[in-house]
Amino acid sequence: MPEESSLEQGDSPEATGQAADAQQGEQKTDRGPEYAVDVQDAGLLKKKVTVTVPRARIDSKYEEMFGELGRTAQIPGFRIGRAPRQLIEKRFGKDISTDVRDAMVADSLAAAIKKTGMKTLGEPEVDLDKIELPEQGDMTYAFEVEVMPEFQLPPLEGAKVNKVLLEVTDERIDGFLDELRQSRSRFEATEDAASEGDMVLAGARISGEGLTPLERPGLNLRVAPGQIEGLPLVDLGKALTGKRAGQKAELKAKVSDAHPNKDWHGKELVVEVEISQVRRRVLPPLDDEFARSLGFGSLEELRRHVTARAKQRAEAEVRSDMRNQICQYLLDNTSFDLPEGAAGRHAERVLQRHAVDLLLRGVPRDEIESHITELQSAAADRAKRDVKLSFVLQKIAEETGVTVDQGEVNARIAALAAEQNRRPERLRQRLAQEGTLGSLEDVLRQEKVLDALLEKAVVTEVAPEAAPKKSAQAETARPARSQGRKKPARKSAGARKPKSTPDGGPEEQKK
């Protein structure tokens, strides 16, 4: 039987946000007879929607478009607005028919989605070229769309959560100071072999069976997990380590169906990297002069500032770990099938949310890039899990009324910019360029949902050594920030090979 009711489009990262479009479509098409809409099952969580556009609406749209054209068309021998209707129809009839068809599909599609009562995912699959606008009678077309799964939420009160009591150690503080030094470091050419933390200037050659090799000269690559032409190369750092200028490293990459180059989908490619120069990072001395370059009066004043920031970040890590536990509780206690293709279609959005999540927790940008590369190596499983989690969190947000407004987004951007010693407008611009502003709003909404659940949880404080070991799944769902550097930072220039550099580095802090 057809399903006919009102669609309320979800706010989830996976929903397409068509609610506003549907409302606009309803306003545009509230004249004339209603569209007939029939909904049938078309597979797992997939529906086939058939829409019939009444002839009266088609004729009304013709009149509207010919009327507008009659006022503006330039026909030889006639003043603008004076050409006879018959001549206009003869000259522009085919184009007008195409425009009417497209307009009718756009209007009726929005109205049909509004009418069905389904919560849809992704964009409807509509092939305009296959839709025929008849000369007489109604117009009928069909499209398929995925819908959100139906499921029962687990109890939202009483989840057991451990609160790990982290201490701000000297090693943590040294790690933060080391990040600041790296942000003001420089790279110098070296004859030594590449090692962790170095950069290499290189060219890459990408080849595969049946493909024309692709040459990419002039690359700047970190000796760490990374990407070349969108190919996640988890072992890039290992392959480059120990290599000198003039030497080559070879890696293989299996291309997922989410890669923008469709010719590469499913193929195993060979990536050959030839190093032309190895560049080593040189750190500035950790002294009063360095502190003054950051806007502080002395090294001691800088250390006090860093200590305060380290405490804030430790609190954020504890909070993040508690949210992870709530996520795991929800996943372990909720069961439903995922729409076909949902994970693959939203894999890129999933990665964006991971990147934003790490950015909000103060992880340097190049560490984020390395981590995302590692996550991409297990994209399918991770995407399925994260898409499932997003459905669960969205449903909780809907049932509890959790929303995020632009004021909250702006406040978080300002806080993040202050932590990075950057201007908020510049950070917002960068997030917009990267296409992650929407993901930021998603993350903030999920945080609010998880924090609300934490208020209803049973929380037990535990020492770090007594905390249960995190599962690999939990780490994959929301990777935790590392507990400082593996090695304490030394206070001499270039004394150790650093792991990473915050992208762009902080701007000078005003006193």
DSSP class per residue in 401-425: T----HHHHHHHHHHHHHHTT--HH
Going by C-alpha positions, the residue among 448, 507, 492, 435 that lies closest to residue 180 is 507
- Does residue 332 surpass a pLDDT of 60? yes
Q: State how far the Cα of 136 lies from the Cα of 244, in Å rounded to an integer.
A: 74
Answer whether 143's CB lies under 8 Å from 18's CB.
no
How confident is the model at residue 349, as a pLDDT? 64
Which residue type sits at 93? Answer: G
Which residue would you say has higher pLDDT here, 433 or 279?
279
pTM confidence score: 0.64
415: CB partners within 8 A, 6+ apart: none
CA dist 335 and 350 (Å) reads 20
- pLDDT tens for residues 65-84? 877 776 777 677 777 766 77
Instruction: Please give the distance of CA 145 from its chain centroid, rounded to a whole number.
Output: 22
| 294 or 471, higher pLDDT | 294
Both tokens of 187, joined, read 């790279």
pLDDT, mean of residues 83-99: 76
Q: What is the pLDDT of residue 377?
A: 58
Confidence class of residue 153 from pLDDT cuts 50, 70 and 90? very high
Fold category of 19-147 in CATH: Alpha-Beta Plaits (3.30.70)
Domain boundaries, the chain: 19-147, 164-185+284-334+341-477, 186-282
Residue type, 405: D
DSSP conformational letter for 120: E
Does residue 453 contact residue 397 with C-beta atoms inside 8 Å?
A: no
Q: Measured between alpha carbons, how far is 440 from 432 in angstroms, rounded to an integer?
A: 10
**DSSP assignment, residue 475?**
H
In angstroms, the CA 383 to CA 476 distance is 10
Higher pLDDT residue, 468 or 263? Answer: 263
8 A C-beta contact, residue 215 and residue 203: yes
Q: What's the pLDDT tens digit per position in 21-48?
A: 444 444 444 557 899 999 998 888 888 9
φ, ψ for residue 146, nearest 5 deg: -85, 150
CA distances, 29 to each of 18, 106, 131 (Å)? 16, 10, 19
Fold observed for domain 186-282 = Chitinase A; domain 3 (3.10.50)
Residues in the chain: 511
Tell me the pLDDT tens digit for each residue of 238-255. 999 999 999 999 999 888
Distances (CA, A) of 251 to 18, 137, 243, 450: 42, 61, 14, 40
> Which of 331, 391, 348, 290 has the alpha carbon at shortest distance from 154?
331
Cα–Cα distance for residue pair 481/460, rounded to 1 Å: 21
What is the per-residue pLDDT for 471?
Answer: 47
Measured distance CA(202)–CA(266) in Å, rounded: 26
